[in-house]
Every structure is written in structure tokens, then in C-alpha cells.
Amino acid sequence: MIQSKLIKRPKLVLVVDDQEINRDALEVTLEEDYEIIQASNGLEAMEQIEKNADRLSVVLLDLMMPVMDGFEVLNRVNAEEHLRHIPVIVLTAEKNAELRALEMGAADFITKPFDVPEVIIARVARIIELSEGRQLISAAEHDRMTGLYSRNFFFEYAHRLFHYSPELHMDAIVMNIEQFHTINAVNGRDFGDEVIRTIGGEIRGFLLETEGIASHFEGDRFAMYCAPQTDYQALLDRIQSKVNGLSQNVSVHLRMGVKPWQDGVEPEFMFDCARAACNMVRGDYQNPLMIYDEDMRKRELLNQRLLNDLRSAVENRQLTVFYQPKYDIQCDPPRLGSAEALIRWNHPELGMISPGDFVPLFERNGQISIVDTFVWHETAAQIRRWEEKLGRRIPVSVNLSRADVFDPTLVDRLERIVRDNGLSFSDMKLEVTESAYTDKANDLLEVVHDLRQLGFEIEMDDFGSGYSSLNMLSAMPIDVLKMDMKFVRNIENNEKDLRLVKLILDIARNLKLRVVAEGVETEGQLKLLRDAGCDLVQGYYFSRPLPPEAFEALIEREMTIERG
């Protein structure tokens, strides 16, 4: 362990007096413990103070001096933010001057003529100690980059407001930056820091206009505890607009969660709720503001329950895989080509839970891997069972989530599942969602490459649902493109959507990719897609997702039709 005295910085003392004997007397008294510099009037003193502002531990200042007196020095030191932290001890023989100097910000006084040196030494040491203590507290109290409170002090002060000023009704606000680590990685830390400083500056400006305190926790996380606002969107827009001004080339998106004041609710819980609200809008660039309400509380409780229950759901076979057929529409009549595996959860107390209620939740916290692994095993076994029973092997697509991509055993596990069930790799197709691409693209590309080398076919799911689909298309080797259902929905009555669909089909043709259109519900949609050259469709027009037994019946029907 390093001795604490080695960590202490050398202490520099400036002695200011027009009488050399006074300066010498103080120097000889203090030189054993401190490095001493001298000035003989106020002007010289200000030069030394400016020059040594970061090193000065204390200034011993005579009040009556030629050129510039000590009062003027005190004035100037207190007027400058970067000098104000330097404690000043005045040297005086006059009671009136003592009082005036203390009122002007002097830390202490030493009477002249100098009498007992030990008193001087003790006073100087005490003032330095107090000042260093204050500076340490100040450094810990504030975040250096933004000037906002640090996390611990913020919560301490929020607590005090809550307990000692209960008449103040304060809302809790949490604000994050979308993909901040990517912004740092792509644009450099300096730019990231500038973003943080800009947000901090705007929050400080906001708090000049309203009651409240704020903190920069760490990374991209900000918190405010402030008087209720009528329009939080306006506050978010105001800060977002400042950030937008930083660069024309970089898009930085903020999101905000708000927990409105609630009688008797402690700040910690308020901020848990605000953070949950903020997390709910992660990645939602269109609606980056979420106000925590009763529905959210219920939603949170449900989420927590689902997270807790997932493992037992797998063990107790509450999860079931449903299958939705995909039809080849370039033949007449359309023919069953393959299927997509879709998870369902039949909870013993909550009943049938929609995948929309738990898949995004598990995707966020990584537990989706448990679901995906279950689906892969079930699907591979099911393909095998159908083949054994019906003599027909139906390829089925399964999901590959972002969390799976970062599992180093992924390729081996998938290979083993296929081999253990006696399938070929093209029997289990892998659907990669855009969410898997948004981060660490290189990892994904590497995994996809390895899987294709084995013989797996890769389908890009939900093409067109996010902004980076075209990037993905150019970077990632895929075999099938699944067109998002929002394109198909309106093609019968919206010429623009139809043109867009045709454009996507053109792109796919040029890249020699097959296209699956999702969400087909009407014969009209089917006809337009077939005429435009779409290969496969999936949707309620042919069939909703079916449990294995019902899908088996569907295969049998199809086989009967095929046999003529």
C-alpha cells in the first residue's frame, strides 16, 4: 500500500506583504512545511495567483499595500471561478479590517505584528486542511464532465428533498442515449464526450428555470428530480435539438422515461420506474418518450413474472412450437413448400401468452436463447417425426436472435441438433432478425458465414422494417429475404406500396435471392405478389400458425392434393 503522505501534493503558500520583514518572518515560520513564494503588492500577488492557481494551497495576504491593496486582491480572487477555491488568510492588526475581509471571503486572519509562530503554523495548516477537504467533497459531489451531481450525492440530495421538503412534488426523469457505445466507437470518445457535455449543459440551463436537481450517473445515463413539467416532449426536444447541432453527419437519438410524482414514493423507486419507462422505448426512434403509468407497472410485474417462470415453462413443457406454412405461389395451385416455427406459451395461470408479450422481453435480457434452443430441438425432432410418419420432409425456419450470435458454441450446437435428428442442414433454415445486426456486425457476419459453410440457409427476417436492412443486404451473405408484412398489407389499394414491393422483388432477383412475403391475407394480395414474381408467401390466407398435429393434417391434405 502506498503511504498516504506520498499521495499528498506539495503545498505552495503565497505570502503577500509590502514589508520584506513580514514576508521573511512568515517564510521562515512556514518554510519547513511548505514551499513559499512571495509578492510585495496586490498586483504582483494576482500575477502569482493566476500563474499558480492549480498549485496554491493558501494565500497569506496583507491588506494595506501600495499599488493594489489586499481588499482588491480578495475581490478579484472571488470574482474568478477558477481562483475562488484558493483560501486567503489576511494579515492584519485591525479589528475592522478583519471583519470586512472575512465578509469578503477571507478564510481566516493572522494578527500583526506576528507574535506566536505556532499559532500561525496551526492556522495555516487548518485552513489548508479545510480547503482540501472541501475540494475533495466538491470533486466527489460533481461529475467533472457535466458539472451535474454525481450519482451518490444526487440520491442523497433527492432523499433530503423527499424527507425534509415533502411539500415539493418532484417527478423522476431518466434519459439515455441510443447506442452510445456505437457512437463512441464510430465517432471517437471526444465526440461522445461532447455529446455528454452538451446534454449536461442543456440540463443545467433547464434547471435554472425550474426547481430540481440532476445527475450524470455514468456512460450515457442522466437523471433529473424536478418539479412536474406540463410537456416532457418539449424538454426532450429541447435537449435533442442541442445535440443535433453538434454534427450534421452523426445522428444521436435520446430517449426519456418519466415517473410522475406519487405521494410517499421514495426517490429510488421513482427512478426505478423512470428507468423502466426509459428502457421500454429503447430503439423506438419515433416515440422516444415514455411516461410511467399504471399499465406500465402491471406490465413490469408481468415481465418479471415471465422472466422468473421461463425455465420452469421449458421444463414443464408449457412452451409449444406452432408451425405456419409457406406456399410456393409460382406453381398452380400453390404448393406447400416449407414452414416457420413460432413459439407459444401456455402458462398454467396466465393462459395462452402471445409471443409479442414475451419474445421482445427475452430478447432484451438475453433469455431468448433459452426459447430459441427449445424451438431448435423441438423443430428438428418434429421434422424428423413428420418424415418418419408421412414420408415427407418439410423444411422449417427457426429464429436466430442477437443473443444466440454471441454464443461461441452456437455453430456446434446447431450442427449437433441437425445431425442428431438425421436431417440435412437445408432442412432447418435460420431466420436472422435485424436486431441481431444492429450491434457488432462483424461477429454476426462471421457466424452467418460459418453456418452457410455447413449448409444452413439464411433468411433475413422482417426486411424493410428497420433502417439498416439495405446495409445488411449488402454486407451479409443470405439466401432468402422475408419481406415485412407492412409492405404487403396495403398493396391492393396503395399504388406506392405495390411499387415498393416490386422494387424489393427486383432487388432480390438481381441479388439472386428468393423472397417470402409475410402477412398475406387476401386472394388479391396473393395475385399481385404472384404477378410481381414473388416466390413464397406466408399468411392467414393459407393458414394461421398451427399446432403440430394440425400442421400434420395440413401436410396430409396437401399430399392428397399433390397426388391428384
Partner 1 sequence: MTIRELYQEIGGDYDQALRVLRVEKLIDKHIRRLTQSGVVDRLLAAGESMDAVRLFEAAHAAKGVCGNLGLSHLSEMASELAEEYRPGNPRRMTDEQVRRKLDEIAEAYRRAEAGIRRYEAL
- Which residues are near partner 1 by CB under 8 A? 18-22, 24-25, 28-29, 64, 93-94, 96, 112-117
**Residue 411 · residue 455 · CB < 8 Å:** no
Which residues, in sequence order, are CB contacts of 479 under 8 Å at separation 6+?
A: 429, 452, 457, 458, 459, 513, 514
**Residue 419 · residue 347 · CB < 8 Å:** no
Q: If we measure between CA atoms, which residue out of 107, 75, 68 comes closest to residue 91?
A: 107
For partner 1, give the closer residue by CB, 28 or 137: 28
For partner 1, give the closer residue by CB, 66 or 219: 66
| Residue type (1 letter), 56 | L
For partner 1, give the closer residue by CB, 21 or 470: 21
For partner 1, give the closer residue by CB, 113 or 408: 113
CB of 117 to partner 1, least distance (A): 7
Rg (CA), the chain: 35
CB of 180 to partner 1, least distance (A): 59
Residue 298 cell numbers, joined: 402491471
Phi and psi angles of residue 550, each rounded to the nearest 5 degrees, phi first: -70, -35
For partner 1, give the closer residue by CB, 21 or 250: 21
For residues 487 and 464, give the distance between their C-alpha atoms in angstroms, rounded to a whole number.
8
CB of 97 to partner 1, least distance (A): 10
For partner 1, give the closer residue by CB, 28 or 550: 28
For partner 1, give the closer residue by CB, 81 or 118: 118
CB of 67 to partner 1, least distance (A): 13
CB of 88 to partner 1, least distance (A): 19
CB of 19 to partner 1, least distance (A): 6
**Residue 355 · residue 340 · CB < 8 Å:** no
For partner 1, give the closer residue by CB, 113 or 356: 113
Q: Coil, helix or strand for 63? A: coil
For residues 326 and 519, give the distance between their C-alpha atoms in angstroms, rounded to a whole number.
11
Cell numbers 459531489 correspond to what residue?
Answer: 141
CB of 28 to partner 1, least distance (A): 4
User: What 3 state SS string does 210-274 have?
Assistant: CCEEEEECCCCCEEEEECCCCCHHHHHHHHHHHHHCCCCCCCCCEEEEEECCCCCCCHHHHHHHH
Residue 248, Cβ neighbours under 10 Å: how many? 7
CB of 24 to partner 1, least distance (A): 6
For partner 1, give the closer residue by CB, 121 or 302: 121
For partner 1, give the closer residue by CB, 21 or 186: 21
Cβ-count burial 172-191 (b if 16+ within 10 Å, e if not): bbbbbbbbbeebbeebeeeb
CB of 118 to partner 1, least distance (A): 10
CB of 124 to partner 1, least distance (A): 15
Residue 50, Cβ neighbours under 10 Å: how many? 13
CB of 96 to partner 1, least distance (A): 8
Residue 30 cell numbers, joined: 512556514
For residues 156 and 163, give the distance between their C-alpha atoms in angstroms, rounded to a whole number.
11
Cell numbers 412534488 correspond to what residue?
Answer: 169
For residues 244 and 254, give the distance between their C-alpha atoms in angstroms, rounded to a whole number.
10
Cβ-count burial 311-328 (b if 16+ within 10 Å, e if not): eebeeeebbbbbbbbbbe
**Residue 59 · residue 87 · CB < 8 Å:** yes
For residues 277 and 297, give the distance between their C-alpha atoms in angstroms, rounded to a whole number.
9
For partner 1, give the closer residue by CB, 34 or 225: 34
For partner 1, give the closer residue by CB, 42 or 267: 42
CB of 31 to partner 1, least distance (A): 9
Q: Report in angstroms the alpha-carbon separations of 246 from 2, 251, 252.
A: 43, 9, 9
